[in-house]
Amino acid sequence: MGYKNLALAIILISTMVLTADAEGKKSFSLCTEECMPICMILNRATMPACDRACFLGCQQLQGKGPPGPSSAKE
């Protein structure tokens, strides 16, 4: 009985991790989709510049981007 519970727990945890990863990718995609029209309104904005800016901005919002200046050690 113990092995069945352990196997079930592993399956449930794996499912939760995979679901969270898929939701993270979905929210990142949504972030970049919503960012592009806002960026393109800016004066002299180009698609490549907005694409890169939105990618980096959304990455930072998810906590996966480079640290900001306030977190730099002195």
Give the tens place of pLDDT for each residue, 4-60. 666 556 655 555 544 545 566 678 888 889 999 999 998 888 999 999 999 999 888
Q: Where are the alpha helices (DSSP H) in 1-74?
A: 2-40, 47-61
Mean pLDDT, all residues of the chain: 73
Q: Which residue has the tokens 């510049």?
A: 49
So what's the pLDDT on residue 16? Answer: 52
Q: Which two tokens stand for residue 45?
A: 């904005």
Q: What is the residue extent of each domain of the chain?
A: 23-60
Q: What is the DSSP secondary structure assignment for residue 23, as one 8-state letter?
A: H
Rounded alpha-carbon distances, angstroms, from residue 19 to 11, 14, 41, 44, 71: 12, 9, 34, 39, 31
